[in-house]
Amino acid sequence: MEMDTLRDLFIDELRDTYHAEGQLVKALPRMAKKAESDELKAAFEQHLEETKSHQERVEEVFDLFEEKPKTKVCKGMQGIIEEGKEMMSEDMAPDVMDAALIAAAQRAEHYEMAAYGTLRTYAKLLGNDEAARILQSILDEEGATDKKLTQLATRINVEATTPDA
């Protein structure tokens, strides 16, 4: 795709983010299955539903720009997910695995927050307030998920500091 304008860059980044969400839809069930903590499992399952909603709202943004929803391979999220897969294959105590899962999930959340913040700013500059509103709402949800993971980590990380007897 040739990029001569901010709109071109916006659509390219939107395609990348759309693909990232699709990758997370596949990764989150594996993470939930691997989690020991019921609260962490529930957080991953809830975020899976939110992620599906994010995909739908990104499709709305494509529509607002009169573009068909298409993906561009998101290598950044691919790398984050690949690292997560490697980590999940390690032999860890259950509470240590939960701590590692939270760390992996927060890497993904922070990546998404950066993407949605940028997209929201571009949408504003392009004069599309509705797209900016949608992207801000997704950004807010990503931030809330990150905060929830941090709250879970305060307990789970402490539990992971001592070996199981």
Instruction: Indicate the number of domains in the chain.
Output: 1
Residue in the structure block whose two tokens are 């509470």: 95
Contact criterion met (CB below 8 Å) for 92 and 163:
no
For residue 42, the SS3 value is helix
Q: For residue 51, what are the domain limits?
A: 6-159
CATH number of the domain within which 49 lies: 1.20.1260.10
Q: What per-residue confidence (pLDDT) applies to 11?
A: 98
Q: Is residue 57 part of a domain?
A: yes
Model-level pTM?
Answer: 0.93
**Cβ–Cβ < 8 Å for 40, 99:** no
Taking Cα atoms as reference points, which of 48, 54, 51, 32 lies closest to residue 152?
32
Decide if 143 is inside a domain: yes
User: Given this model, what pLDDT does residue 164 score?
Assistant: 63
The per-residue pLDDT for 2 is 84
pLDDT score for 165: 47
Asked whether residue 29 is domain-assigned, the answer is: yes
Q: State the pLDDT at residue 1.
A: 66
Neighbours of 18 (CB within 10 A): 20
- Residue 157 is encoded by which pair of tokens? 């990380």
Q: In order along the chain (165 residues), what is the average pLDDT of each group of 10 residues? A: 92 98 97 95 96 98 97 97 94 93 97 98 98 98 96 91 71
Contact between 10 and 126 under an 8 Å Cβ cutoff? The reply is yes
Q: Is residue 46 part of a domain?
A: yes
